[in-house]
Chains A and B, each alone.
Chain A
Amino acid sequence: MAEVLVLVEHADGEIKKVTNELLTLARTLGEPSAVLLGGSVASLAEKLGEYGAQKVYVAESADLDDYLVAPKAEVLAQIVADTSPTAVLVASSAEGKEVAARAALRSGSGLITDAVGVSSDGETTQGIFGGAIAVQAKVTKGIPFITVRPNSTAAEPASGAAEVVTVTPNISDAAKGAKVTERVVEAKGGRPDLAEAAVVVSGGRGLGGAEHFDLIEKLADSLDAAVGASRAATDAGWYPHQNQVGQTGKTVSPQLYIAVGISGAIQHRAGMQTSKTIVAINKDPEAPIFELADFGMVGDLFDVVPQLTDEITKRK
Protein backbone atom coordinates (compact mmCIF):
# COMPACT_ATOMS: atom_id res chain seq x y z
CA MET A 1 0.00 0.00 0.00
CA ALA A 2 1.10 3.50 -0.72
CA GLU A 3 2.66 5.60 1.97
CA VAL A 4 0.84 8.55 3.56
CA LEU A 5 2.99 10.97 5.55
CA VAL A 6 1.73 12.53 8.76
CA LEU A 7 3.71 15.44 10.19
CA VAL A 8 3.79 14.99 13.95
CA GLU A 9 2.65 17.95 16.03
CA HIS A 10 4.33 17.98 19.41
CA ALA A 11 4.99 20.41 22.24
CA ASP A 12 6.94 20.08 25.48
CA GLY A 13 7.88 16.48 24.77
CA GLU A 14 4.31 15.36 24.15
CA ILE A 15 2.53 14.32 20.98
CA LYS A 16 -0.61 16.36 20.37
CA LYS A 17 -3.93 14.56 20.16
CA VAL A 18 -4.46 15.81 16.60
CA THR A 19 -1.50 13.69 15.45
CA ASN A 20 -3.26 10.52 16.61
CA GLU A 21 -6.35 11.70 14.73
CA LEU A 22 -4.27 12.25 11.59
CA LEU A 23 -2.67 8.80 11.88
CA THR A 24 -6.15 7.29 12.23
CA LEU A 25 -7.29 9.18 9.13
CA ALA A 26 -4.12 8.22 7.23
CA ARG A 27 -4.93 4.52 7.73
CA THR A 28 -8.00 4.98 5.51
CA LEU A 29 -5.83 6.46 2.74
CA GLY A 30 -2.81 4.13 2.76
CA GLU A 31 0.02 3.11 5.01
CA PRO A 32 0.77 5.81 7.59
CA SER A 33 4.32 7.00 8.17
CA ALA A 34 4.96 9.66 10.77
CA VAL A 35 7.45 12.49 10.25
CA LEU A 36 9.01 13.63 13.51
CA LEU A 37 11.04 16.85 13.38
CA GLY A 38 12.75 18.77 16.18
CA GLY A 39 15.82 19.30 18.27
CA SER A 40 15.49 16.19 20.41
CA VAL A 41 12.45 14.14 19.56
CA ALA A 42 13.53 10.53 18.90
CA SER A 43 12.06 9.33 22.22
CA LEU A 44 8.56 10.14 20.91
CA ALA A 45 8.85 7.76 17.95
CA GLU A 46 7.67 4.66 19.79
CA LYS A 47 4.36 6.25 20.81
CA LEU A 48 3.42 6.82 17.17
CA GLY A 49 3.11 3.09 16.58
CA GLU A 50 0.20 3.05 19.03
CA TYR A 51 -1.91 4.83 16.42
CA GLY A 52 -0.75 2.78 13.48
CA ALA A 53 2.43 4.44 12.19
CA GLN A 54 4.34 1.78 10.26
CA LYS A 55 7.44 3.94 9.90
CA VAL A 56 8.65 7.01 11.72
CA TYR A 57 11.04 9.32 9.87
CA VAL A 58 13.04 11.06 12.56
CA ALA A 59 15.08 14.13 11.69
CA GLU A 60 16.81 15.85 14.58
CA SER A 61 18.61 19.18 14.47
CA ALA A 62 18.71 22.13 16.83
CA ASP A 63 18.05 24.33 13.76
CA LEU A 64 14.52 22.88 13.55
CA ASP A 65 13.70 24.56 16.87
CA ASP A 66 15.99 27.57 16.64
CA TYR A 67 14.67 28.98 13.36
CA LEU A 68 11.06 29.61 12.43
CA VAL A 69 9.19 27.25 10.06
CA ALA A 70 11.59 27.26 7.06
CA PRO A 71 13.88 24.44 8.30
CA LYS A 72 10.90 22.20 9.05
CA ALA A 73 9.47 22.89 5.59
CA GLU A 74 12.78 22.03 3.95
CA VAL A 75 13.16 18.74 5.80
CA LEU A 76 9.52 17.77 5.20
CA ALA A 77 9.99 18.48 1.47
CA GLN A 78 13.21 16.43 1.56
CA ILE A 79 11.37 13.43 3.05
CA VAL A 80 8.53 13.86 0.56
CA ALA A 81 11.03 13.81 -2.31
CA ASP A 82 12.61 10.62 -0.95
CA THR A 83 9.36 8.76 -0.32
CA SER A 84 6.90 10.04 -2.97
CA PRO A 85 3.88 9.56 -0.69
CA THR A 86 0.29 9.61 -1.99
CA ALA A 87 -0.56 12.40 0.43
CA VAL A 88 0.91 14.49 3.23
CA LEU A 89 -1.31 15.26 6.23
CA VAL A 90 -0.47 18.10 8.59
CA ALA A 91 -2.44 19.51 11.54
CA SER A 92 -4.30 22.72 10.73
CA SER A 93 -2.53 24.71 13.42
CA ALA A 94 -0.95 28.09 12.73
CA GLU A 95 2.52 26.59 12.33
CA GLY A 96 1.24 23.40 10.69
CA LYS A 97 -0.33 25.38 7.86
CA GLU A 98 2.84 27.42 7.36
CA VAL A 99 5.11 24.37 7.22
CA ALA A 100 2.70 22.58 4.87
CA ALA A 101 2.47 25.58 2.54
CA ARG A 102 6.22 26.04 2.17
CA ALA A 103 6.88 22.32 1.82
CA ALA A 104 4.11 22.03 -0.80
CA LEU A 105 5.64 24.89 -2.76
CA ARG A 106 9.08 23.27 -2.61
CA SER A 107 7.53 19.99 -3.80
CA GLY A 108 5.68 21.64 -6.70
CA SER A 109 2.40 20.60 -5.15
CA GLY A 110 -0.95 22.07 -4.27
CA LEU A 111 -2.28 22.71 -0.79
CA ILE A 112 -5.68 22.39 0.83
CA THR A 113 -6.07 23.74 4.35
CA ASP A 114 -8.61 23.18 7.11
CA ALA A 115 -10.06 19.93 5.79
CA VAL A 116 -12.53 18.20 8.11
CA GLY A 117 -12.53 15.02 6.04
CA VAL A 118 -10.42 13.29 3.39
CA SER A 119 -11.80 10.40 1.34
CA SER A 120 -9.72 7.56 -0.06
CA ASP A 121 -9.48 9.24 -3.49
CA GLY A 122 -7.98 12.36 -1.93
CA GLU A 123 -11.17 14.40 -2.10
CA THR A 124 -11.34 16.75 0.90
CA THR A 125 -14.29 18.29 2.71
CA GLN A 126 -13.97 21.78 4.14
CA GLY A 127 -16.40 24.30 5.54
CA ILE A 128 -15.94 27.78 4.12
CA PHE A 129 -17.36 31.17 5.12
CA GLY A 130 -17.52 30.00 8.71
CA GLY A 131 -19.07 26.64 7.90
CA ALA A 132 -21.93 28.16 5.88
CA ILE A 133 -20.89 26.19 2.78
CA ALA A 134 -19.41 22.70 2.58
CA VAL A 135 -16.88 22.31 -0.21
CA GLN A 136 -15.47 19.19 -1.85
CA ALA A 137 -12.05 19.86 -3.34
CA LYS A 138 -8.83 18.20 -4.36
CA VAL A 139 -5.23 18.97 -5.12
CA THR A 140 -4.60 18.66 -8.85
CA LYS A 141 -0.82 19.19 -9.06
CA GLY A 142 1.89 17.13 -7.46
CA ILE A 143 1.37 15.41 -4.12
CA PRO A 144 -1.67 16.52 -2.12
CA PHE A 145 -0.61 18.47 0.98
CA ILE A 146 -3.67 18.62 3.22
CA THR A 147 -3.98 20.31 6.58
CA VAL A 148 -6.70 18.78 8.74
CA ARG A 149 -8.57 20.43 11.60
CA PRO A 150 -8.37 18.97 15.09
CA ASN A 151 -11.49 16.99 16.11
CA SER A 152 -12.23 15.97 12.49
CA THR A 153 -11.70 12.25 13.15
CA ALA A 154 -11.83 10.32 16.41
CA ALA A 155 -8.38 8.91 17.19
CA GLU A 156 -8.46 5.11 17.38
CA PRO A 157 -5.49 3.10 18.60
CA ALA A 158 -4.03 0.46 16.26
CA SER A 159 -0.73 -1.30 16.38
CA GLY A 160 1.93 -0.22 13.95
CA ALA A 161 5.56 -1.22 13.57
CA ALA A 162 6.86 2.30 14.14
CA GLU A 163 10.10 1.32 12.45
CA VAL A 164 12.45 4.26 12.99
CA VAL A 165 14.12 5.64 9.88
CA THR A 166 16.73 8.23 10.79
CA VAL A 167 16.94 11.10 8.32
CA THR A 168 19.88 13.46 8.13
CA PRO A 169 18.33 16.89 7.69
CA ASN A 170 19.74 19.12 4.95
CA ILE A 171 18.96 22.62 6.09
CA SER A 172 20.14 25.47 3.87
CA ASP A 173 21.53 28.75 5.16
CA ALA A 174 18.60 30.52 3.54
CA ALA A 175 16.23 28.64 5.86
CA LYS A 176 18.09 29.98 8.88
CA GLY A 177 16.93 33.57 8.49
CA ALA A 178 14.34 33.97 11.23
CA LYS A 179 15.90 33.16 14.57
CA VAL A 180 13.79 32.28 17.59
CA THR A 181 15.37 34.03 20.56
CA GLU A 182 12.76 33.53 23.27
CA ARG A 183 9.57 31.57 23.96
CA VAL A 184 7.21 33.13 26.47
CA VAL A 185 4.27 31.33 28.06
CA GLU A 186 1.54 33.70 29.23
CA ALA A 187 -1.49 31.46 29.51
CA LYS A 188 -2.39 29.91 32.78
CA GLY A 189 -1.74 26.23 32.24
CA GLY A 190 -4.02 23.33 32.89
CA ARG A 191 -6.86 24.02 30.47
CA PRO A 192 -7.23 22.11 27.22
CA ASP A 193 -6.23 23.67 23.91
CA LEU A 194 -9.07 25.74 22.43
CA ALA A 195 -8.79 24.10 19.00
CA GLU A 196 -8.68 20.56 20.37
CA ALA A 197 -11.08 20.82 23.31
CA ALA A 198 -14.24 18.69 23.49
CA VAL A 199 -16.03 21.45 25.39
CA VAL A 200 -15.62 25.22 24.98
CA VAL A 201 -17.13 27.90 27.21
CA SER A 202 -16.95 31.41 25.73
CA GLY A 203 -17.66 34.78 27.25
CA GLY A 204 -18.60 38.04 25.55
CA ARG A 205 -19.33 41.68 26.20
CA GLY A 206 -22.16 40.68 28.52
CA LEU A 207 -19.55 39.91 31.18
CA GLY A 208 -18.90 43.60 31.52
CA GLY A 209 -15.25 43.38 32.55
CA ALA A 210 -12.08 41.30 32.76
CA GLU A 211 -12.75 40.63 36.44
CA HIS A 212 -15.90 38.68 35.58
CA PHE A 213 -14.14 36.20 33.31
CA ASP A 214 -13.51 34.07 36.39
CA LEU A 215 -17.20 33.09 36.11
CA ILE A 216 -16.40 31.68 32.67
CA GLU A 217 -13.19 30.02 33.88
CA LYS A 218 -14.97 28.33 36.79
CA LEU A 219 -17.72 27.03 34.53
CA ALA A 220 -15.08 25.86 32.04
CA ASP A 221 -13.12 24.07 34.76
CA SER A 222 -16.23 22.25 35.99
CA LEU A 223 -16.51 20.79 32.46
CA ASP A 224 -12.77 20.39 31.72
CA ALA A 225 -13.41 22.90 28.97
CA ALA A 226 -11.30 25.43 27.12
CA VAL A 227 -12.14 29.12 27.46
CA GLY A 228 -13.10 31.19 24.42
CA ALA A 229 -14.06 34.83 23.99
CA SER A 230 -15.88 37.06 21.53
CA ARG A 231 -14.01 39.82 19.79
CA ALA A 232 -15.78 42.42 21.89
CA ALA A 233 -14.16 40.76 24.92
CA THR A 234 -10.68 40.44 23.40
CA ASP A 235 -10.79 43.97 21.94
CA ALA A 236 -11.60 45.29 25.39
CA GLY A 237 -8.54 43.43 26.70
CA TRP A 238 -10.63 41.22 29.02
CA TYR A 239 -9.18 38.03 27.58
CA PRO A 240 -6.19 37.22 25.29
CA HIS A 241 -6.58 37.36 21.52
CA GLN A 242 -5.42 33.74 21.29
CA ASN A 243 -8.77 32.76 22.80
CA GLN A 244 -10.91 34.67 20.31
CA VAL A 245 -13.46 32.52 18.52
CA GLY A 246 -14.77 33.63 15.14
CA GLN A 247 -14.03 35.00 11.72
CA THR A 248 -10.67 36.46 12.68
CA GLY A 249 -10.07 34.16 15.62
CA LYS A 250 -10.18 30.41 16.10
CA THR A 251 -12.65 28.08 14.48
CA VAL A 252 -13.81 25.46 16.94
CA SER A 253 -16.02 22.44 16.51
CA PRO A 254 -16.37 20.88 19.96
CA GLN A 255 -19.01 18.45 21.26
CA LEU A 256 -20.41 21.27 23.37
CA TYR A 257 -20.12 25.05 22.98
CA ILE A 258 -21.55 27.33 25.66
CA ALA A 259 -21.89 31.01 24.68
CA VAL A 260 -22.30 33.35 27.62
CA GLY A 261 -23.21 37.02 27.11
CA ILE A 262 -22.47 36.76 23.39
CA SER A 263 -24.98 38.16 20.88
CA GLY A 264 -24.04 35.80 18.04
CA ALA A 265 -22.88 38.23 15.33
CA ILE A 266 -22.21 36.57 11.97
CA GLN A 267 -18.43 36.85 12.51
CA HIS A 268 -18.68 35.06 15.87
CA ARG A 269 -20.90 32.34 14.40
CA ALA A 270 -18.27 31.79 11.71
CA GLY A 271 -16.02 30.32 14.37
CA MET A 272 -18.42 28.06 16.24
CA GLN A 273 -21.52 27.16 14.26
CA THR A 274 -20.30 23.66 13.40
CA SER A 275 -20.16 22.73 17.11
CA LYS A 276 -22.19 19.57 17.80
CA THR A 277 -24.31 21.03 20.61
CA ILE A 278 -24.70 24.75 21.32
CA VAL A 279 -25.99 26.27 24.55
CA ALA A 280 -26.55 30.03 24.84
CA ILE A 281 -27.03 32.12 27.95
CA ASN A 282 -28.14 35.67 27.19
CA LYS A 283 -30.57 38.12 28.77
CA ASP A 284 -31.90 39.34 25.42
CA PRO A 285 -34.49 36.91 23.99
CA GLU A 286 -33.92 38.47 20.54
CA ALA A 287 -30.16 37.75 20.49
CA PRO A 288 -29.27 35.98 17.21
CA ILE A 289 -27.21 33.38 19.11
CA PHE A 290 -30.55 31.73 20.06
CA GLU A 291 -31.15 30.88 16.36
CA LEU A 292 -28.23 28.46 16.60
CA ALA A 293 -28.78 27.19 20.11
CA ASP A 294 -29.92 23.65 20.88
CA PHE A 295 -30.71 25.00 24.32
CA GLY A 296 -31.12 28.68 25.11
CA MET A 297 -31.43 30.22 28.54
CA VAL A 298 -32.86 33.74 28.57
CA GLY A 299 -31.58 35.27 31.74
CA ASP A 300 -28.90 37.25 33.52
CA LEU A 301 -25.61 35.42 33.25
CA PHE A 302 -24.62 36.56 36.74
CA ASP A 303 -27.53 34.48 38.12
CA VAL A 304 -27.42 31.56 35.72
CA VAL A 305 -23.71 30.81 35.42
CA PRO A 306 -22.77 30.37 39.12
CA GLN A 307 -25.82 28.14 39.61
CA LEU A 308 -24.90 26.11 36.55
CA THR A 309 -21.32 25.66 37.75
CA ASP A 310 -22.58 24.46 41.15
CA GLU A 311 -25.06 22.04 39.58
CA ILE A 312 -22.41 20.55 37.30
CA THR A 313 -19.98 20.12 40.19
CA LYS A 314 -22.71 18.44 42.24
CA ARG A 315 -23.83 16.05 39.53
CA LYS A 316 -20.46 14.91 38.25
Chain B
Amino acid sequence: MPMNIVVCVKQVPDTWAERTLNASDKTLDRAKVDTVMNEIDEYAVEEAIRLKEAHGGEVTIVTMGPDRALDTIRKALSMGADKAVLLSDEALHGSCVMQTSDALAKVIGTLEYDLVICGSEATDSRLSVMAPLLAERLGLPQLSLARKVTVEPGSSVTIERQTENGYTVVTSALPAVVSVVEKINEPRYPSFKGIMAAKSKPTTTLTAADAGLEGELGLAGATSQVDEFTPRPPRSGGEIVKNEGDGGTKVADFLVSQKLI
Protein backbone atom coordinates (compact mmCIF):
# COMPACT_ATOMS: atom_id res chain seq x y z
CA MET B 1 0.00 0.00 0.00
CA PRO B 2 1.43 3.39 -0.99
CA MET B 3 2.44 5.92 1.68
CA ASN B 4 1.88 9.62 1.21
CA ILE B 5 4.32 11.59 3.30
CA VAL B 6 4.51 15.27 4.17
CA VAL B 7 7.95 16.56 5.18
CA CYS B 8 8.22 19.90 6.98
CA VAL B 9 11.41 21.67 5.96
CA LYS B 10 12.88 24.95 7.15
CA GLN B 11 15.41 27.25 5.56
CA VAL B 12 17.95 28.53 8.09
CA PRO B 13 21.14 30.59 8.17
CA ASP B 14 24.20 28.46 7.47
CA THR B 15 25.76 27.39 10.77
CA TRP B 16 29.20 28.28 9.35
CA ALA B 17 28.10 31.94 9.10
CA GLU B 18 28.13 34.61 11.77
CA ARG B 19 24.46 34.72 12.76
CA THR B 20 22.67 37.65 14.34
CA LEU B 21 19.31 39.36 14.88
CA ASN B 22 17.91 42.49 13.19
CA ALA B 23 18.52 45.56 15.32
CA SER B 24 15.07 46.97 14.48
CA ASP B 25 12.54 44.20 15.22
CA LYS B 26 14.90 41.68 16.89
CA THR B 27 13.96 38.86 14.54
CA LEU B 28 16.43 36.57 12.81
CA ASP B 29 18.60 38.47 10.33
CA ARG B 30 18.22 36.40 7.18
CA ALA B 31 19.49 39.03 4.76
CA LYS B 32 23.17 39.09 5.68
CA VAL B 33 23.86 35.36 5.74
CA ASP B 34 23.85 32.44 3.37
CA THR B 35 20.85 30.24 3.92
CA VAL B 36 20.60 26.48 3.60
CA MET B 37 18.12 23.72 4.26
CA ASN B 38 18.10 23.04 8.01
CA GLU B 39 20.59 20.21 8.09
CA ILE B 40 18.49 17.86 10.20
CA ASP B 41 15.62 18.28 7.72
CA GLU B 42 17.79 16.62 5.08
CA TYR B 43 17.51 13.46 7.18
CA ALA B 44 13.73 13.88 7.29
CA VAL B 45 13.57 14.25 3.49
CA GLU B 46 15.88 11.25 3.05
CA GLU B 47 13.77 9.08 5.36
CA ALA B 48 10.59 10.03 3.48
CA ILE B 49 12.15 9.21 0.12
CA ARG B 50 13.37 5.84 1.42
CA LEU B 51 9.85 5.02 2.68
CA LYS B 52 8.42 6.05 -0.68
CA GLU B 53 10.97 3.89 -2.50
CA ALA B 54 10.02 0.92 -0.33
CA HIS B 55 6.24 1.33 -0.36
CA GLY B 56 5.30 3.73 -3.17
CA GLY B 57 3.37 6.97 -2.68
CA GLU B 58 4.23 10.65 -2.82
CA VAL B 59 6.46 12.95 -0.80
CA THR B 60 5.26 16.53 -0.37
CA ILE B 61 7.52 19.23 1.06
CA VAL B 62 5.89 21.93 3.20
CA THR B 63 7.86 25.07 4.00
CA MET B 64 6.99 28.38 5.58
CA GLY B 65 9.41 31.18 4.86
CA PRO B 66 10.33 33.99 2.52
CA ASP B 67 10.38 33.43 -1.25
CA ARG B 68 14.06 32.60 -1.15
CA ALA B 69 13.10 29.41 0.69
CA LEU B 70 12.35 28.12 -2.83
CA ASP B 71 16.08 27.24 -2.94
CA THR B 72 15.57 24.85 -0.06
CA ILE B 73 12.45 23.41 -1.65
CA ARG B 74 14.36 22.87 -4.89
CA LYS B 75 17.01 20.93 -3.01
CA ALA B 76 14.38 18.65 -1.45
CA LEU B 77 12.77 18.10 -4.85
CA SER B 78 16.14 17.27 -6.42
CA MET B 79 16.76 14.72 -3.68
CA GLY B 80 13.56 13.00 -4.84
CA ALA B 81 10.50 14.60 -3.23
CA ASP B 82 7.54 14.91 -5.63
CA LYS B 83 5.95 18.28 -4.96
CA ALA B 84 6.02 21.19 -2.57
CA VAL B 85 3.96 23.86 -0.90
CA LEU B 86 5.57 27.15 0.13
CA LEU B 87 3.67 29.33 2.56
CA SER B 88 5.13 32.76 2.01
CA ASP B 89 3.67 36.04 3.20
CA GLU B 90 5.25 39.23 4.56
CA ALA B 91 2.51 39.18 7.22
CA LEU B 92 4.01 36.00 8.72
CA HIS B 93 7.38 37.64 9.41
CA GLY B 94 8.33 37.30 13.06
CA SER B 95 5.94 34.42 13.81
CA CYS B 96 6.58 32.54 17.05
CA VAL B 97 6.63 28.75 17.26
CA MET B 98 2.96 28.59 18.25
CA GLN B 99 1.92 30.61 15.18
CA THR B 100 4.25 28.68 12.90
CA SER B 101 2.85 25.36 14.08
CA ASP B 102 -0.66 26.69 13.42
CA ALA B 103 0.27 27.77 9.91
CA LEU B 104 1.98 24.48 9.07
CA ALA B 105 -0.89 22.45 10.53
CA LYS B 106 -3.39 24.39 8.37
CA VAL B 107 -1.36 23.71 5.23
CA ILE B 108 -0.87 20.03 6.13
CA GLY B 109 -4.61 19.81 6.77
CA THR B 110 -5.28 20.49 3.08
CA LEU B 111 -3.08 17.57 1.96
CA GLU B 112 -3.58 13.82 1.94
CA TYR B 113 -1.03 11.99 3.99
CA ASP B 114 -0.23 8.94 6.09
CA LEU B 115 2.79 10.38 7.83
CA VAL B 116 4.25 13.79 8.65
CA ILE B 117 8.02 13.87 9.14
CA CYS B 118 10.04 16.74 10.63
CA GLY B 119 13.68 17.16 11.56
CA SER B 120 14.10 17.01 15.34
CA GLU B 121 15.19 20.64 15.57
CA ALA B 122 16.19 23.66 13.53
CA THR B 123 19.75 24.88 13.93
CA ASP B 124 18.67 28.52 14.27
CA SER B 125 15.91 28.47 16.90
CA ARG B 126 16.71 25.05 18.41
CA LEU B 127 13.33 24.67 20.14
CA SER B 128 12.87 21.04 19.17
CA VAL B 129 9.09 21.16 19.63
CA MET B 130 7.57 21.36 16.13
CA ALA B 131 6.62 17.67 15.88
CA PRO B 132 4.89 17.73 19.32
CA LEU B 133 3.03 20.93 18.42
CA LEU B 134 1.91 19.57 15.05
CA ALA B 135 0.76 16.35 16.73
CA GLU B 136 -1.20 18.39 19.26
CA ARG B 137 -2.81 20.57 16.58
CA LEU B 138 -3.58 17.75 14.15
CA GLY B 139 -4.78 15.45 16.93
CA LEU B 140 -2.31 12.76 15.85
CA PRO B 141 0.15 10.54 17.72
CA GLN B 142 3.58 12.06 18.37
CA LEU B 143 6.57 9.84 17.63
CA SER B 144 9.48 12.21 18.06
CA LEU B 145 13.29 11.96 18.13
CA ALA B 146 13.36 8.81 16.03
CA ARG B 147 16.67 7.21 15.21
CA LYS B 148 14.84 4.44 13.37
CA VAL B 149 11.42 4.37 11.67
CA THR B 150 9.53 1.28 10.49
CA VAL B 151 6.08 1.42 8.88
CA GLU B 152 3.34 -1.05 8.15
CA PRO B 153 1.69 0.88 5.32
CA GLY B 154 -2.00 1.47 5.90
CA SER B 155 -1.66 0.44 9.50
CA SER B 156 1.07 1.48 11.93
CA VAL B 157 4.43 3.13 12.50
CA THR B 158 7.08 2.19 15.06
CA ILE B 159 10.12 4.21 16.04
CA GLU B 160 13.17 3.96 18.23
CA ARG B 161 13.07 7.21 20.18
CA GLN B 162 16.52 8.32 21.27
CA THR B 163 16.78 8.89 25.01
CA GLU B 164 19.55 10.03 27.35
CA ASN B 165 20.78 6.51 27.97
CA GLY B 166 19.44 4.45 25.10
CA TYR B 167 16.12 4.33 23.29
CA THR B 168 12.41 3.79 23.75
CA VAL B 169 10.29 1.84 21.30
CA VAL B 170 7.09 3.76 20.49
CA THR B 171 4.32 2.64 18.20
CA SER B 172 1.09 4.14 16.88
CA ALA B 173 -1.55 3.86 14.21
CA LEU B 174 -1.21 5.91 11.01
CA PRO B 175 -1.45 8.80 10.35
CA ALA B 176 1.13 10.12 12.79
CA VAL B 177 3.76 12.82 13.21
CA VAL B 178 7.38 11.69 13.37
CA SER B 179 10.57 13.66 13.98
CA VAL B 180 13.99 12.24 13.17
CA VAL B 181 17.45 12.80 14.66
CA GLU B 182 20.53 13.21 12.50
CA LYS B 183 21.93 9.70 12.93
CA ILE B 184 18.91 8.00 11.31
CA ASN B 185 20.35 7.75 7.79
CA GLU B 186 22.85 9.26 5.37
CA PRO B 187 21.11 11.90 3.22
CA ARG B 188 21.81 11.52 -0.49
CA TYR B 189 23.32 14.24 -2.64
CA PRO B 190 20.97 15.33 -5.41
CA SER B 191 22.02 13.68 -8.66
CA PHE B 192 22.24 15.60 -11.93
CA LYS B 193 19.12 13.77 -13.06
CA GLY B 194 17.39 14.72 -9.81
CA ILE B 195 18.32 18.37 -10.25
CA MET B 196 16.93 18.40 -13.80
CA ALA B 197 13.75 16.57 -12.77
CA ALA B 198 13.14 19.02 -9.91
CA LYS B 199 12.62 21.84 -12.41
CA SER B 200 9.34 20.38 -13.61
CA LYS B 201 7.99 19.30 -10.22
CA PRO B 202 5.03 21.33 -9.00
CA THR B 203 5.44 23.91 -6.22
CA THR B 204 2.37 25.73 -4.97
CA THR B 205 2.89 29.08 -3.27
CA LEU B 206 0.26 30.09 -0.72
CA THR B 207 -0.37 33.39 1.01
CA ALA B 208 -1.56 33.54 4.61
CA ALA B 209 -5.11 34.09 3.35
CA ASP B 210 -4.85 31.09 1.00
CA ALA B 211 -3.90 28.96 3.99
CA GLY B 212 -6.88 30.23 5.96
CA LEU B 213 -4.78 32.13 8.51
CA GLU B 214 -6.51 35.04 10.14
CA GLY B 215 -6.25 37.27 13.18
CA GLU B 216 -3.04 38.92 14.28
CA LEU B 217 -0.28 37.32 12.27
CA GLY B 218 3.49 37.53 12.54
CA LEU B 219 5.32 39.62 15.07
CA ALA B 220 2.18 41.49 16.23
CA GLY B 221 0.45 38.29 17.29
CA ALA B 222 3.46 36.38 18.58
CA THR B 223 3.17 34.68 21.99
CA SER B 224 6.67 35.70 23.03
CA GLN B 225 8.90 38.64 22.26
CA VAL B 226 12.59 39.45 22.33
CA ASP B 227 13.22 42.63 24.32
CA GLU B 228 16.97 42.93 24.06
CA PHE B 229 19.98 41.13 22.70
CA THR B 230 23.71 41.53 23.22
CA PRO B 231 26.59 39.71 21.58
CA ARG B 232 28.53 37.86 24.25
CA PRO B 233 32.06 39.24 24.63
CA PRO B 234 34.62 36.87 23.12
CA ARG B 235 36.52 34.76 25.64
CA SER B 236 39.87 36.29 26.41
CA GLY B 237 42.75 34.07 25.47
CA GLY B 238 44.15 31.80 28.12
CA GLU B 239 47.54 30.30 28.65
CA ILE B 240 48.78 28.01 25.86
CA VAL B 241 51.64 25.69 26.77
CA LYS B 242 53.62 23.24 24.65
CA ASN B 243 54.05 19.70 25.94
CA GLU B 244 57.65 19.08 27.05
CA GLY B 245 56.96 15.63 28.39
CA ASP B 246 55.18 16.95 31.46
CA GLY B 247 52.00 18.11 29.67
CA GLY B 248 49.65 16.04 31.80
CA THR B 249 51.26 17.34 34.99
CA LYS B 250 50.97 20.93 33.75
CA VAL B 251 47.25 20.49 33.03
CA ALA B 252 46.79 18.99 36.50
CA ASP B 253 48.68 21.97 38.02
CA PHE B 254 46.27 24.31 36.23
CA LEU B 255 43.24 22.39 37.54
CA VAL B 256 44.63 22.59 41.07
CA SER B 257 45.30 26.33 40.71
CA GLN B 258 41.65 26.81 39.70
CA LYS B 259 40.48 24.61 42.60
CA LEU B 260 38.93 22.24 40.06
CA ILE B 261 40.53 19.23 41.71
Contact = CB atoms under 8 A, between A and B. Distances in A.
A246 B250 CA distance: 27
Given A111-B223, A129-B20, A297-B243, 8 more contacts: A105-B136, A199-B260, A223-B261, A242-B162, A304-B247, A306-B248, A307-B246, A312-B261
Interface in A191-210: 193-195, 199
B167 A184 contact: yes
A293 interface: yes
Contact of B21 (A69, A73, A133): A133
Nearest to B234: A291
Contacts of A106: 136
Interface stretch (A22-30, A56-64, A138-146): A138-146
Contact of A97 (B16, B127, B167, B247): B127
A1 interface: no
B126 interface: yes
A139 B224 contact: yes
Contact of B238 (A111, A113, A142, A294): A294
A169 to B, nearest CB: 17
Contact of A132 (B161, B231, B240): B231
Interface string A209-253: 000000000000001000000000010000001100001100000
Interface string A244-278: 00011000000110000000001100100110011
A101 interface: yes
Interface residues on B, range: 35 or more
Interface stretch (B72-80, B96-104, B190-198): B96-104
A186 interface: yes
B224 A112 contact: yes
Contact of B165 (A97, A105, A187): A187
Contact of A138 (B101, B181, B227, B248): B227
Contacts of A241: 147, 162, 181-183
Contacts of A292: 235
B188 interface: no
Contacts of B172: 177-179
Nearest to B233: A134
Contacts of A135: 21, 226, 228-229
Contacts of B243: 297-300, 303-304
A89 B51 CA distance: 38
28 contacts: A70-B141, A94-B164, A97-B128, A98-B132, A105-B133, A110-B98, A127-B232, A132-B19, A133-B19, A133-B232, A136-B227, A177-B176, A178-B141, A178-B172, A180-B168, A183-B166, A185-B165, A255-B260, A256-B260, A278-B238, A290-B237, A290-B240, A292-B235, A296-B240, A306-B248, A307-B249, A311-B248, A312-B261
Interface in B211-261: 222-232, 234-235, 237-243, 245-252, 254-256, 258, 260-261
Interface residues of A, number: 94
B147 to A, nearest CB: 7
A186 B250 CA distance: 36
Given A140-B222, A296-B241, A101 B133 contact: yes
A161 interface: no
Contact of B248 (A104, A111, A310): A310
Contacts of B132: 69, 73, 98, 101-102
For the complex of A and B, the 9 pairs showing the least CB-CB separation, nearest first, are A307-B248, A299-B243, A110-B223, A177-B141, A308-B248, A311-B252, A101-B129, A186-B166, A294-B238
Interface of B: 15-16, 18-21, 39-40, 96-98, 101, 121, 123-129, 132-133, 135-137, 139-145, 147, 158, 161-173, 176, 181-183, 222-232, 234-235, 237-243, 245-252, 254-256, 258, 260-261
Nearest to A137: B226
Contacts of B126: 113-114, 128
Nearest to A191: B165
Contacts of B144: 68-69, 98
Interface string A163-186: 000000000001001111111111
Contacts of B228: 135-136
Task: From A279, A299, A308, name the one whose CB has the most chain B CB atoms within 10 angstroms.
Answer: A299
Given A111-B129, A297-B250, A299-B243, A182 B136 contact: no
